[in-house]
Structure 1
Amino acid sequence: MLFKPSQLAIATHCALFLLVLPVTHANAESSTQATENQTSMERMIITGSRSAERIEEVPSSVTLIEQQTLAQDMLMTSQLQNLLAFRVPGLAPSTGTSSNSGQNLRGRAALVMIDGVPQSTPLRNGKLGISSIDAGVIERIEVIKGATSIYGNGASGGIINYITKRASEDKARVKVGASSKFSAVKLQDSAGYRVDTSIDGTVDNFSYVFSAITEKTGVERDSEGDAIGLVYGLSETKSNNYFTKLGYQLDDDKSIQLTYNYYEAQQESDYIDVVGNANTGEKTYSIDNTTGIVKLGVPQGPRGNHNLMLKYVDQDIFTNTQLTVDGYLQKIENMFFFSTALANLSEGYEGGQSFIKSEKKGLRVNFATQVDWDNVESTFIYGIDALQDISSQPLEDGRIWVPEMDMRNLAVYLQTKFVIADDWVIKAGIRQDSVDLTVDDYQTLKLCRTPSTCSVPFDVTGGELTYNSTTYNIGLRYNMNEFFNPFMSFSQGADISDIGRLLRTATVDDIALIRTESSIVDNYEIGFSGQLGDLNYEIAAYRSKSELGTSNSFDATTGIYLPVRAPQKIWGYEAQVDYRVLDNLNTGLSYSWVEGKDTETDTYIDGGTISPPKLTAYISWQPVEEASIGINYMYVGDRDRFEPVDGAYIGSQGPIENYNVVNLTSSYQLNNWQLSLGVENLLNEDYFSARSQASTNASYYTQALGTTINVGIKASF
């Protein structure tokens, strides 16, 4: 055993933290200087190397969603799946639900984090991590694409890091907002509400942020006015987010900061589903429950996700070296929908409702040392990561589907960066992970598709699985001039596949016989970026491969999805252009394309992993100083790689037909007040999301949201 859970818990509770970035914040002497400082901050990222660095020094693709952009998009919707799908090239289109299943990053899983703390649950990946916080408490979002071992397991496709809001450097700032969202196609039962309040400020050396957000959605309706199906649905969902951040500047170099975030989102609907058929084109929708029969199950969704983070930073622990010590505690319970697939009538179960339960305790010690000589600026980032992750998937009725998995991970790493003559950037790193995973003896769950067709439960001997992996990365960037800056990189990520899914579908009597090996993902990327006057662009091509797969395949005999353990390759490219037409008019577009194959069988990977082509475009116009208007456009292309089996598509192999979506945002500022109007699906496009089309699961075959209006008012004091 690398370390005892009790030792980790003690270390975590005793650790001190700081969220202050290694960037000097000077007081603005003028509005011009303040703008320049803000622009400088917006060009900095911390996710890629754990230390603040300029985007111009990163030899790989990065997407930043800055506060201004995020605030504008939130005038239309607060759903992060939708916001990210539009703003991040390489991220699959939104499912339009609470689930990000199929919403992969470059065809592989992304690790979702809040201020660097993992929200994803790789041991039993329920693919609900994107919706783990309310967008209203996010300052900015950093997305690093491609496999990475910087933060450990679960980042085979990259990282999505939500950076939470900072306190203002002035007196108390109070913000209050209220809005209502409703269907423009059919108003009945569709109106909801959102209330967002916050206060933040700085008093001497003490800073604070307090935020409380409550949102209640009405019945979501498609382009025909029908209520959208409830599985992973967002209809009649009430969410609460309570956020606190407290900081104290001990002296010029040392700071401490405590952050706590609580998030829940429970769907409590009186509607019931009318199940369709994806192969015949009959959509699934919902209707008001007038049968008098009580619905089975409890509300679905996150029912109390807690994140406690403490950080301490010494900017000058010794010569030219910064120390960051941070630890975190996290508790997650994500409830799935009630499913008759979890039935066992002989034992009195008409179905079942599972939830993912995960508790994490982590401690990280990070050093960043800068050494300069002649024309070379060098940075060395090194440290230790310790993590305990206890995850399981029980059923609400007390049955156990996935037994408790106790993972203890200890890692050491070194990341280096050399900036030569201000033009050449060379980055290289290594990380060594040692993982112990313990599972007690358990029995697989007996499930019955019909009263006479049941799975055979297996008594499985548990034990301890050990993983040791060493991953590397190296990158090169040449900032030739402002017009053309090429880059190339190789990076690896170690991914312990969805162990929980492997355990729950075991057909052997010993855990040692299950293929639970970790998958090493090799990622290659080449691209270039630049600026031509008021035009900024970036183009990148990539390829990733793994000897063991990181996706799932459908077993038509059992009706369940099984992990793919065969070699895979995924490749694609992305392009993004932004153009400032006038001082008050900006526009841009992006295009991303990805494809993948299981190389052992030379067959394409299904739509649960590989998304269709995606094109986005936007226009942002400020006709007068007080008003702004934005139009977003998304085109999702075709993908048809599979043939029907016995006249019907199976699994996630359904053909995807293209669709177009146009959204509108607008606002008007009147002194301290802001009036806003947002419209999703402005043209009331009649379409099914890419995930809905690809999947043959009837419960997922729901039409997307029809024209929906969001009106709001905000005040700042």
Structure 2
Amino acid sequence: MKKNYLKTVAGLALAPMLLPTLKVQAQDTTRTLKDVVITASRSPKKLSDIGRVVTTITAAEISRSQGKTLPELLNTVPGIMFSGAENVQGQSSDIYLRGASAGNTLILIDGFPANDASSIAGNYDLNAFPIDQIDHIEILKGSGSTLYGSDAVAGVINIFTKHPQQQGLKANAQFAGGSYNTFKEAIGLNGKLNKTGIALNLSNTDSKGFSVANDQLGTGTFDNDAFHQRSGSLNLTQEVSSRFTLNGNLQLTHNTGDNDYDAFVDDKDYTYKRTYLFGGIGGRYQLDKGAINVNVSQNNVWNEFKNLPSDNFDTYQLTSNIGRITNVEGIFTYKFNKYLDLTSGVDYKYSNTKQYSDYSTTGYAPGPSQVSADTAHTAIGSAYGSLFFNSGIFHAELGGRYNHHNKYGDNFTYTFNPSVLLFDRLKVFGTVASAYKAPSLYQLYSEYGNINLKPEKTNLSLEAGFDLGIIKDVLSFNTVFYKRDIKDVLAFYTDPNTFASYYINANKQKDKGFESELNLKIDQLTASAYAAYVVGKQYDANGVETHNLYRRPKNTYGANVNYQIIKTVSVGLNYKYTGDRRDNDFTVYPSQIVTLKHYNLLDAHVQVSPVKNLTLFCDLKNILDEKYFDWYGYNTRRFNFMAGAKYQFN
């Protein structure tokens, strides 16, 4: 008890020292309303000209985060709970933005939508991304379905991979090692040859890991669960003319590892393989007052899970699934005059999956379950448009989107987003919007599928907030309140009489909360502090309140700081408090609700450049050595570190 108290006090005591930012970890400049972002409007706009909340993780910040994984980095962003980010590397993890369910945050890769047609909710596994292949990230919070379609219920995370930068080719190399016998190697080649650009990045990660399942009885017999990743990405650009540019990207990642299926149970025979192949090609034609973009992308995922027992008395399990999604889109942007511009487009998305599952244990062998790609497929076509008005002081977005799905039919979303900029330092904004999430192929066609599912509809998404520059380029504060009402919630249901299980459209879900952030920059010190709060209720068809927000805390708060001691040395700290959460205990029947205790995470990093082109780095994580669960019965990392070196060849 005393130990836990001291940990909490130590963590909280650091918070005032770490005063605040909308940025994650270190940042080079304070966040200002002059910053330009793309994701909020699908075209470059200053934050002062849009009434949305956008967080940018810069290239400099990512460069200083090479000892982290992408889930660990995103977990430090205010309003994001990345459940499982600290589990054994490579294990599945769920991202909850503003308390929304997993799958209700759209992932983009260089602006191309990324989904997994084989997964339960259709959400993409961010373990597919080595952090060394990422340039920067933009996070749009709030409904984004008008511009982006399905899944953009709580927001959009746009991951920009490394692109060609300067004339001439330059190579770089990185090596790192750390806890759990984890080692990582990466090499890259980046540059332009006349009008052709290339960015090639290759990486390899191996970790002996630790046991996925928690050894509740302390037997000491649970084995470590390893993780291996091979990954490569390629970006090409070609300037065909002064107006016309082609670009293409390709990412291939192969993850393998060991797993424990059940909580508190060691499984020595359970392994997995996951392969992700994402590719896209696009063309941009620059008009005098706008641009035309045409993009085509395909996302393929292959998963295989094996539990092959050493004798006939143990559980046998084999799951194999393939998912493929093809996206085609055309985007038209046009500036009518200094007050009014347009973003509009059409897109088409085709998804299919092939799945096989076989399970048997002593006395129970139901036989294999199969889903054919010829049967399990959907198509959705959309047309959308948003007008953006800018008078200098008053700004507004008004937009709508029409969607036609080959199974459930038609639906429509809208956005109205006004904002006012006063004295070039105070932005007051609000949003009234709707959003939707189409049912996944698994929810429609698996053994638990329901072909009559309707889309999950957010009929009303509200935001109201302000962004204030207290001291220009030194101190700023912003806060936003939000409310989200969803109907026809996609949910897994078991009939209490027949015990048959299948997916249904539950009745209603209502969530609300707020986020506040304070940002500071004084000379070489940048700092941030934040707090986020979310509560929610769900109602069944009879209006009875049921549990909501599993694995999601009501309260999170934290702080980040970076200090450039001298030109060649920087240090930083990250602190985050995560409150109590609810989870299910599936080790008993019927399952019971348990409380996952709150915890404090404190991380530190140092970066040193002893000579030109060489950078040394070290990340210390979970310094307080907190023991906690993100998922009941599954381990998280205790105190651990990652250290390494990066070298840039001339």
Answer whether TM exceeds 0.5 for this pair.
Answer: yes
Structure 1 counterpart of 2:178, one-letter code: K
CA distance in structure 2 between the aligned counterparts of 1:665 and 1:652, rounded to whole angstroms: 40
Instruction: Tell me the alpha carbon deviations over residues 632-689 of structure 1, each in whole angstroms, 9 at most, x when there is no partner.
Output: 11101124699x99x9796583213211111111111022111111111112112222
Query: Out of 492, 496, 519, which is 2:456 matched to?
Result: 519
Query: Out of 371, 377, 385, which is 1:414 matched to?
Result: 385
Please state if 1:658 is matched with 2:620: no
Please state if 1:529 is matched with 2:467: yes
Shift of the 599–274 alpha-carbon distance from structure 1 to 2, 3 Å rule, reads: closer
CA distance in structure 2 between the aligned counterparts of 1:111 and 1:502, rounded to whole angstroms: 20
Measured after TM superposition, the shift of residue 515 of structure 1 is: 3.9
Please state if 1:264 is matched with 2:254: yes
Matched residue, 1:703: 635
Measured after TM superposition, the shift of residue 554 of structure 1 is: 7.0
CA contact (8 A) 2:292 2:332 kept: yes
Measured after TM superposition, the shift of residue 621 of structure 1 is: 1.2
- Paired residue secondary structure (2:316): coil
Instruction: Tell me the alpha carbon deviations over residues 271-306 of structure 1, each in whole angstroms, 9 at most, x when there is no partner.
Output: x85965xxxxxxx3759x5xxxxx2x5x3242x211
- Paired residue secondary structure (1:258): strand
CA contact (8 A) 1:93 1:611 kept: no
- Paired residue secondary structure (1:172): strand
Shift of the 649–384 alpha-carbon distance from structure 1 to 2, 3 Å rule, reads: same
Instruction: Tell me the alpha carbon deviations over residues 206-243 of structure 1, each in whole angstroms, 9 at most, x when there is no partner.
Output: 111111111111223799999999xxx99421111111
Runs of 4+ more than 4 Å apart: 38-42, 92-95, 221-229, 272-276, 336-340, 551-564, 639-642, 647-652
Query: Out of 485, 491, 500, which is 1:545 matched to?
Result: 485
- Counting aligned pairs with the same residue, the percent is 16
Matched residue, 1:423: 393
Please state if 1:85 is matched with 2:41: no
CA distance in structure 1 between the aligned counterparts of 2:395 and 2:218, rounded to whole angstroms: 50
Matched residue, 2:644: 712
> How do residues 208-227 of structure 1 correspond to structure 2 at under 5 angstroms?
208-220=198-210
Please state if 1:357 is matched with 2:322: yes
- Paired residue secondary structure (1:47): coil
Structure 2 counterpart of 1:378, one-letter code: L
Instruction: Tell me the alpha carbon deviations over residues 328-368 of structure 1, each in whole angstroms, 9 at most, x when there is no partner.
Output: 1221123456499xxxx9xx994323344211222111110
Matched residue, 2:21: none
> How do residues 499-648 of structure 1 correspond to structure 2 at under 5 angstroms?
499-506=441-448, 514-521=451-458, 522-533=460-471, 534-552=474-492, 558=499, 562-580=503-521, 582-600=522-540, 601-608=543-550, 610-639=552-581
Residue segments in structure 1 that go unaligned for 5+ positions in a row:
1-34, 183-189, 277-283, 290-294, 437-464, 694-700
Shift of the 603–609 alpha-carbon distance from structure 1 to 2, 3 Å rule, reads: farther
Matched residue, 2:299: 330
> How do residues 197-596 of structure 1 correspond to structure 2 at under 5 angstroms?
197-220=187-210, 235-267=225-257, 269=258, 273=260, 284=264, 286=266, 295=269, 299-302=271-274, 304-316=275-287, 319-336=288-305, 338=307, 350-372=315-337, 376-395=338-357, 399-404=368-373, 405-420=376-391, 422-436=392-406, 465-506=407-448, 514-521=451-458, 522-533=460-471, 534-552=474-492, 558=499, 562-580=503-521, 582-596=522-536
CA distance in structure 2 between the aligned counterparts of 1:265 and 1:48, rounded to whole angstroms: 32
Residue segments in structure 2 that go unaligned for 5+ positions in a row:
1-27, 360-366
Higher mean alpha-carbon deviation, 171-180 vs 331-340, is at 331-340
Instruction: Tell me the alpha carbon deviations over residues 410-464 of structure 1, each in whole angstroms, 9 at most, x when there is no partner.
Output: 11111110101x121110111111111xxxxxxxxxxxxxxxxxxxxxxxxxxxx
Shift of the 554–71 alpha-carbon distance from structure 1 to 2, 3 Å rule, reads: farther
Measured after TM superposition, the shift of residue 65 of structure 1 is: 1.1
Measured after TM superposition, the shift of residue 606 of structure 1 is: 3.2
CA contact (8 A) 2:301 2:324 kept: yes
CA contact (8 A) 2:236 2:248 kept: yes
Shift of the 207–402 alpha-carbon distance from structure 1 to 2, 3 Å rule, reads: same
Matched residue, 1:63: 55
Shift of the 506–215 alpha-carbon distance from structure 1 to 2, 3 Å rule, reads: closer
Matched residue, 1:138: 134
Give the superposed CA RMSD: 3.5
CA contact (8 A) 1:327 1:361 kept: yes
CA contact (8 A) 1:225 1:706 kept: no
CA contact (8 A) 2:307 2:315 kept: no
Matched residue, 1:443: none
Count of paired positions = 594
Higher mean alpha-carbon deviation, 560-569 vs 52-61, is at 560-569
CA distance in structure 2 between the aligned counterparts of 1:228 and 1:677, rounded to whole angstroms: 32
CA contact (8 A) 1:191 1:217 kept: yes
Structure 1 counterpart of 2:433, one-letter code: S
Matched residue, 2:17: none
CA distance in structure 1 between the aligned counterparts of 2:414 and 2:333, rounded to whole angstroms: 19
Matched residue, 2:158: 161
CA contact (8 A) 2:538 2:545 kept: yes
Using structure 2 for the length normalisation, give the TM-score: 0.83
